[in-house]
A and B are shown apart, each in its own frame.
Chain A
Amino acid sequence: MYTHVLEERKNSIKTSDRDAAPIRCETASVSGAVSQRACVYCGARVVLNPITDAFHIVHGPIGCASYTWDIRGSLSSGSELYRNSFSTDLQEKDVVFGGAKKLTSAIDEVMNVYAPKLIFVYATCIAGVIGDDVEAVCREAERKYGSRVIPVKAPGFSGNKSTGYRMACDALMQLLLPHREQAAADGVNILGDYNLAGEMWIIKNYMKEIGVPVISTFTGDASYDRLLGAPSARLNVVQCAGSMIYLAERMEMEFGIPWIKASFFGIEDTTTAIRQIADLTGSPETRRKAEAFTRRESERATALTAPYHKSLAGKKAAIFVGGGFKAISLVRQFREMGMETVLVGTQTGKADEYEVLGKLVSPGTVILDDANPAELEKFMREKGADILVGGVKERPLAYKLGIAFCDHNHERKHALAGYEGVENFAREVNLSVNSPVWHYARG
Chain B
Amino acid sequence: MSSGIVNLNTNPCKMCMPMGAVSAFYGVARCMCLLHGSQGCSTYIRRHMATHYNEPVDIASSSLTEEGTVFGGEKNLIKGLDNLIELYRPEVIGVAATCLAETIGEEVPAVIRRYHESRPECAVKIITVASAGYSGTQYEGWFRALHALVSQTAVAAARHDGLNVITGPISPADTRALKNLLRGLGLSFTLLPDISDNLDGGHAATYERLPSGGTPLAEIVRMAGARATLELASFPPEGYSPGRWLEEKHNVPLIRCHMPLGLRDTDAFLKALEKLGAVIPEELRQERARCLDAMIDAHKYNAMGRAAVYGEPDLVYGLVRLCCENGIIPVVAATGSDCPPLKAALEEEIRPAAENAHVERVSVLNFADFDDIGAAAEANGANLLIGSSDGRRLAHKYNIPLVRCAFPVHDHVGGQRIRTLGYSGALSLLDSFANALISRRESVYRAELFERHCKTSGLSASKSELSLQKKTVRHPCFSASACHTAARLHLPVAPDCNISCNYCVRAFDCPNESRPGATAKVLSPEEALARFMSVKAAMPNLAVVGIAGPGDALANFSAVAETLRLVREMDSEITFCLSTNGLLLPLYAAQLVSLSVSHVTVTINAVDPAIGALIYRHITYMGVKYEGEVGAAILMANQLAGLKLLLEAGVVCKVNIVLVKGVNDGHVEEVARRAGMLGASLANVMQMIPVRGSVFEDMPLISNAEHMALRKRCEIHIPQMYHCRQCRADAVGLLDEDRSCLLQTDEASSRGRDAARMETPVRVAVASRSGVVVDQHFGYADQFYIYESDGVSTRLVEMRRTPGGRGGCGRCGGDKAVVAPRPGRLAGALEAVADCKAVVAMRIGLSPARQLADKGIAVFSTYENIDKAVRAAAERLV
* B contact residues around A391 at 8 Å (CB): 47
Interface hits, A332-380 → B, CB 8 Å: 332, 350-352, 355-356, 359-360, 372-374, 377
* A contact residues around B182 at 8 Å (CB): none
* A contact residues around B770 at 8 Å (CB): 241, 261, 263, 325, 328, 356
User: 5 closest pairs, A vs B, by CB?
Assistant: A39-B40, A156-B38, A32-B80, A63-B16, A32-B83
Q: List 8 A-B contacts (CB under 8 A).
A: A3-B86, A28-B65, A33-B84, A38-B39, A42-B44, A66-B15, A105-B6, A109-B7
Q: Are A38 and B43 in contact (CB under 8 A)?
A: yes
With contacts A66-B15, A157-B69, A162-B813 taken as known, whether A40 is within 8 angstroms of B866 at the C-beta atoms is no
With contacts A245-B809, A261-B809 taken as known, whether A105 is within 8 angstroms of B7 at the C-beta atoms is yes
Answer whether residue A74 sits at the interface, using C-beta atoms and an 8 A cutoff.
no
With contacts A60-B99, A67-B15 taken as known, whether A350 is within 8 angstroms of B44 at the C-beta atoms is no
Answer whether residue B746 sits at the interface, using C-beta atoms and an 8 A cutoff.
no
With contacts A63-B16, A276-B796 taken as known, whether A126 is within 8 angstroms of B8 at the C-beta atoms is no
With a 10 A CB-CB cut-off, give which of A4, A87, A126, A228 has the most chain B CB atoms: A126
Q: Are A32 and B84 in contact (CB under 8 A)?
A: yes
* B contact residues around A355 at 8 Å (CB): 775, 818
* B contact residues around A260 at 8 Å (CB): 771, 799
Q: Are B5 and A106 in contact (CB under 8 A)?
A: yes
Answer whether residue B772 sits at the interface, using C-beta atoms and an 8 A cutoff.
yes
Answer whether residue B81 sits at the interface, using C-beta atoms and an 8 A cutoff.
yes
Q: How far is the CA of A32 from the CA of B772 in the complex (A)?
A: 37
Answer whether residue B379 sits at the interface, using C-beta atoms and an 8 A cutoff.
no
Answer whether residue A297 sits at the interface, using C-beta atoms and an 8 A cutoff.
no
Residue on A nearest B5 in the bound complex, by CB: A109
Answer whether residue B45 sits at the interface, using C-beta atoms and an 8 A cutoff.
yes
Q: Are B100 and A392 in contact (CB under 8 A)?
A: no
* B contact residues around A313 at 8 Å (CB): none
* Cβ 8 A contact of A400, one of B41, B207, B866: B207
Q: How far is the CA of A262 from the CA of B772 in the complex (A)?
A: 7
Residue on B nearest A244 in the bound complex, by CB: B812
Q: Are A32 and B203 in contact (CB under 8 A)?
A: no
Q: Are A34 and B60 in contact (CB under 8 A)?
A: yes
Q: Are A8 and B558 in contact (CB under 8 A)?
A: no
Answer whether residue A285 sits at the interface, using C-beta atoms and an 8 A cutoff.
yes
Answer whether residue A70 sits at the interface, using C-beta atoms and an 8 A cutoff.
yes
Answer whether residue A269 sits at the interface, using C-beta atoms and an 8 A cutoff.
yes
Q: How far is the CA of A403 from the CA of B104 in the complex (A)?
A: 42
With contacts A87-B12, A146-B630 taken as known, whether A2 is within 8 angstroms of B89 at the C-beta atoms is yes
Interface 0/1 of B680-700, CB less than 8 Å to A: 000000000000000000000
Residue on B nearest A250 in the bound complex, by CB: B808
* B contact residues around A12 at 8 Å (CB): none
With contacts A65-B12, A113-B4 taken as known, whether A90 is within 8 angstroms of B69 at the C-beta atoms is no
Interface 0/1 of A58-79, CB less than 8 Å to B: 0011111111111100000100
Q: Are B558 and A213 in contact (CB under 8 A)?
A: yes
Which stretch, B132-140, B152-160, B501-509, touches the partner chain A?
Answer: B132-140
Chain A interface size, as a band, is 35 or more
Residue on B nearest A165 in the bound complex, by CB: B812
A31 to chain B, nearest CB (A): 4
* A contact residues around B18 at 8 Å (CB): 63
* Cβ 8 A contact of B622, one of A129, A213, A228: A228
Interface 0/1 of A28-50, CB less than 8 Å to B: 11111111111111100000000
Q: Are B14 and A66 in contact (CB under 8 A)?
A: yes
Answer whether residue B79 sits at the interface, using C-beta atoms and an 8 A cutoff.
yes
Residue on A nearest B758 in the bound complex, by CB: A284
Q: Are B103 and A31 in contact (CB under 8 A)?
A: no
Q: How far is the CA of A225 from the CA of B10 in the complex (A)?
A: 24
* B contact residues around A165 at 8 Å (CB): 812-813
Answer whether residue B66 sits at the interface, using C-beta atoms and an 8 A cutoff.
yes
B213 to chain A, nearest CB (A): 14
Which stretch, B50-58, B117-125, B248-256, B353-361, touches the partner chain A?
Answer: B50-58
Answer whether residue A382 sits at the interface, using C-beta atoms and an 8 A cutoff.
no
Q: Are A156 and B12 in contact (CB under 8 A)?
A: no
Q: Are A269 and B622 in contact (CB under 8 A)?
A: no
With contacts A22-B818, A181-B624 taken as known, whether A42 is within 8 angstroms of B40 at the C-beta atoms is yes
Residue on A nearest B87 in the bound complex, by CB: A374
A26 to chain B, nearest CB (A): 7
* B contact residues around A110 at 8 Å (CB): 5, 8
Q: Are A272 and B865 in contact (CB under 8 A)?
A: yes
Answer whether residue B68 sits at the interface, using C-beta atoms and an 8 A cutoff.
yes
Q: Are A109 and B4 in contact (CB under 8 A)?
A: yes
On chain B, the number of residues with a Cβ less than 8 Å from chain A's Cβ atoms is 119
Q: Are B44 and A279 in contact (CB under 8 A)?
A: no
Q: How far is the CA of A108 from the CA of B7 in the complex (A)?
A: 9
* Cβ 8 A contact of A284, one of B83, B88, B756, B812: B756
Q: Are A287 and B771 in contact (CB under 8 A)?
A: no
With contacts A8-B83, A32-B81, A182-B622 taken as known, whether A396 is within 8 angstroms of B57 at the C-beta atoms is yes
Answer whether residue A301 sits at the interface, using C-beta atoms and an 8 A cutoff.
no
* A contact residues around B10 at 8 Å (CB): 84-86
A408 to chain B, nearest CB (A): 15
Residue on B nearest A248 in the bound complex, by CB: B809
Interface 0/1 of B171-211, CB less than 8 Å to A: 00000000000000000000000000000010101010100
Q: Are B44 and A68 in contact (CB under 8 A)?
A: yes
* B contact residues around A402 at 8 Å (CB): 203
Q: Are A272 and B61 in contact (CB under 8 A)?
A: no
With contacts A35-B61, A63-B18 taken as known, whether A86 is within 8 angstroms of B100 at the C-beta atoms is no
Q: How far is the CA of A28 from the CA of B66 in the complex (A)?
A: 11
Residue on B nearest A402 in the bound complex, by CB: B203
A binding-site residues for B, Cβ under 8 Å:
1-4, 6, 8, 22, 26, 28-42, 57, 60-71, 77, 83-92, 94-95, 102-103, 105-106, 108-110, 113-114, 125-126, 128-130, 146, 155-160, 162-163, 165-166, 178-182, 185-187, 213, 225-226, 228-229, 231-232, 241-243, 245-246, 249, 252, 258, 260-263, 268-269, 271-273, 275-276, 279-280, 283-285, 287, 291, 325, 328-329, 332, 350-352, 355-356, 359-360, 372-374, 377, 391-393, 395-397, 399-402, 441, 443
Q: Are A62 and B12 in contact (CB under 8 A)?
A: yes
* B contact residues around A352 at 8 Å (CB): 769, 775-776, 810, 817-818
B204 to chain A, nearest CB (A): 8
With contacts A38-B39, A86-B10, A279-B797 taken as known, whether A373 is within 8 angstroms of B809 at the C-beta atoms is no
* B contact residues around A163 at 8 Å (CB): 813
Q: How far is the CA of A402 from the CA of B815 in the complex (A)?
A: 39
Q: Are A2 and B87 in contact (CB under 8 A)?
A: yes
* A contact residues around B245 at 8 Å (CB): none
Q: Are A272 and B624 in contact (CB under 8 A)?
A: no
Q: How far is the CA of A240 from the CA of B256 in the complex (A)?
A: 55
Residue on B nearest A28 in the bound complex, by CB: B65
With a 10 A CB-CB cut-off, give which of A2, A356, A443 has the most chain B CB atoms: A356
Q: Are A37 and B47 in contact (CB under 8 A)?
A: no
Q: Are A32 and B62 in contact (CB under 8 A)?
A: yes
Q: Are A377 and B207 in contact (CB under 8 A)?
A: yes
* Cβ 8 A contact of A283, one of B8, B38, B753: B753
Q: Are A441 and B203 in contact (CB under 8 A)?
A: yes
Q: How far is the CA of A106 from the CA of B868 in the complex (A)?
A: 56
Q: How far is the CA of A291 from the CA of B756 in the complex (A)?
A: 14
Answer whether residue B795 sits at the interface, using C-beta atoms and an 8 A cutoff.
yes
A40 to chain B, nearest CB (A): 7
Answer whether residue B77 sits at the interface, using C-beta atoms and an 8 A cutoff.
yes
Answer whether residue B428 sits at the interface, using C-beta atoms and an 8 A cutoff.
no
Q: Are B587 and A242 in contact (CB under 8 A)?
A: no
Q: Are B209 and A186 in contact (CB under 8 A)?
A: no
* B contact residues around A232 at 8 Å (CB): 623
B773 to chain A, nearest CB (A): 6
Q: How far is the CA of A8 from the CA of B100 in the complex (A)?
A: 25
Q: Are B5 and A126 in contact (CB under 8 A)?
A: no
Q: How far is the CA of A28 from the CA of B38 in the complex (A)?
A: 11
* Cβ 8 A contact of A67, one of B9, B48, B68, B799: B48
Residue on B nearest A105 in the bound complex, by CB: B7
Q: Are A129 and B104 in contact (CB under 8 A)?
A: yes
Answer whether residue B366 sits at the interface, using C-beta atoms and an 8 A cutoff.
no
